[in-house]
Amino acid sequence: MVAPSPVLIAQGRRLRRDTPRLPDAAQPWSGAVEGPRPLRLLVLGDSTAAGVGAQTQHDALPGHLARQLAARLGRGVEWRAVGENGATSRDLLRRYLPEATSAPADLVYVTVGANDALTLRPRWAFARDIRTLLSRLRHANPDAVLLVSSLPAFFRFELLPNPLRWNLYLHSRSLEDGARATVARFAGAHMSPPPPPYTEGFFASDLFHPSASGYRDWARFAIEDAAAAGALTPLESR
């Protein structure tokens, strides 16, 4: 765990004070890509599930994931998003699991961890929450594919000053290592590797959240990786 030195505390407070707070993507947080044998996609998580940085969920992570899946599998996709800007893994467990499990899903994409890193949550607590989250999602959807995003590459966030940037990166890597070991113990679950370098235009105007094109790049990377790992194979024959 990163030691919260006075310098890090001061930089963190200044960052929260000075960074513009962008709104969630507009409602509705559901949609569909037409095609045969539509599969059901749930995106559960923090601000990136809420579509912060894009005007609509069609242009945010859920919509892009749905289109990537449809193109990859040749199937329709009915998608919905559940979550909250600023949510940690503990927040998802406490406030959003009932909504997330209120309807069946064939694929669940979990995007969480950035706020756990920003609030310096312990590695053991994050790993425990991921284990509980996946267990409950699996109980609600026994045959679903469970995909988990890697954490942001904080060392590439130019908005973040050093030493805050580097220390957040080190802590996020520790959290991700714990989560990755947890995900590996679940059949039918897969966690993405660390992302490639962010492309020009990846970030929204706050220089922290993805833009619409950033979400497009993220979705393409996530689905291409899941396909290469064989995680999508069960969906090809249903």
The Cα 174–Cα 162 span in angstroms is 18
Question: End-to-end alpha-carbon separation of the chain, Å?
Answer: 43
Higher-pLDDT residue of 166, 141: 141
Distance CA 158, CA 31 (A): 34
Distances (CA, A) of 100 to 40, 80, 108, 205, 223: 12, 9, 9, 29, 21
In the chain, the largest separation of any two C-alpha atoms, in whole Å, equals 57
Is the residue at 155 inside a domain? yes
Residue 126 lies in a domain: yes
> Is residue 130 a contact partner of residue 97, using CB atoms and an 8 Å limit?
no
pLDDT tens digits for range 183-232: 999 999 999 999 999 999 999 999 999 999 999 999 999 999 999 999 99
237 part of a folded domain:
no
pLDDT reading at 129 higher than 60: yes
Task: Give domain status of residue 211, yes or no.
Answer: yes
The CA dihedral of 137, 139, 142, 147, to the nearest 10 degrees, is 20
> Quick one: how far is CA 100 from the chain centroid?
14
| pLDDT surpassing 80 at residue 13 | no
Does residue 238 lie in a domain region? Answer: no
Question: Which domain covers residue 80, as residue numbers?
Answer: 35-232
Structural domain total, the chain: 1
What is the CATH number for 118?
3.40.50.1110
Q: How far apart, in Å, are the Cα atoms of 153 and each of 5, 129, 147?
A: 22, 21, 18
Indicate the pTM of the whole model: 0.94
The tokens of 177 are what? 């290592």
Assess if residue 145 is contained within a domain: yes
Segment 41-45 mean pLDDT: 98
Mark 88-108 as b/e (b = at least 16 C-beta within 10 Å).
bbbbbbeebbeebbeeebbbb
Whether the ω angle into residue 163 lies within 30 degrees of 0, i.e. cis, is yes
Question: Is residue 9 a part of any domain in this protein?
Answer: no
Q: Does 67 fall in a domain?
A: yes
Record the tokens describing residue 229, joined without a space. 């790992």
Instruction: Say yes or no to pLDDT of 157 above 70.
Output: yes
For residue 81, list its beta bridge partners.
Answer: 43
- Tell me the pLDDT tens digit for each residue of 45-77: 999 999 999 999 999 999 999 999 999 999 999
Residue with tokens 């893994």, as numbered in its chain: 89
